[in-house]
Amino acid sequence: MDQPENQLNLAALLRIPFQALVDELHRRLAEAGYGDIRPAHTIIFALLGSEGMRLSELTARAQTTKQVMNYLINSVEKNGYVERLPDPADGRAKIVRLTARGLEASQAGRKILFSLENEWAQDFGEKEMRELRLLLLRLVTIVGQLQTDQTSLDDD
C-alpha cells in the first residue's frame, strides 16, 4: 500500500493522540496533587498493583533495561509511591509494589483517563469512539500475535 508523502504515517497517527493523552493525564495528575509523577513513570503505574512484582519481571514487561527501571523505581520510591519488600518465594529477591499513595495515584490516573476518553467520545461521537476502540483492540491482538510469532522465531 503506497502512502502519499504528505500523509501522516501510522506511527505518527498513533503517537500524536497518545502524546496528547499523556500530556493531559500528567497536567491533571499535577492538579490532583501528583505533580511529581513524570511521563516516564507512567509505565510503573500501568504495570504494578498492590501485589507487586520482581524488578526483573517489571523490566521485561516494560521492555526496558534493568538500569533504567531501577532508576525509575528509585524515583517513585523516594516520593512514596512504591516500596520494595522481600519476595516470600526467594529471600534474596525483592518485590516492588505500589504503596497506599501509589494506589491512590494509580486510581486517580485511571479516573483521568476514563474522563479523557469520555471527552474524546463527545468530540468524536459515541459510535466512532466504539469503532476506534474495536479497531485498536484488533490491532493489539494482531500485534500481540506478531510478537508471539517473533518470540517463537527468536527461540529457534
* CA–CA gap between residue 113 and residue 49 (Å, rounded): 17
**Interval 76-92: pLDDT, tens:** 999 999 999 998 888 78
Q: Reduce the DSSP state of residue 24 to 3 states and report it.
A: helix
Distance of CA 29 to the CA centre of its chain: 15
Write down the pTM of the prediction.
0.81
For residue 2, the model assigns a pLDDT of 66
CATH 1.10.3720.10 fits 10-124, yes or no: no
Q: Is the pLDDT of residue 36 over 60?
A: yes
* CA–CA gap between residue 54 and residue 50 (Å, rounded): 13
Domain positions in the chain:
10-124, 125-156
**Interval 110-130: pLDDT, tens:** 999 999 999 999 999 999 999
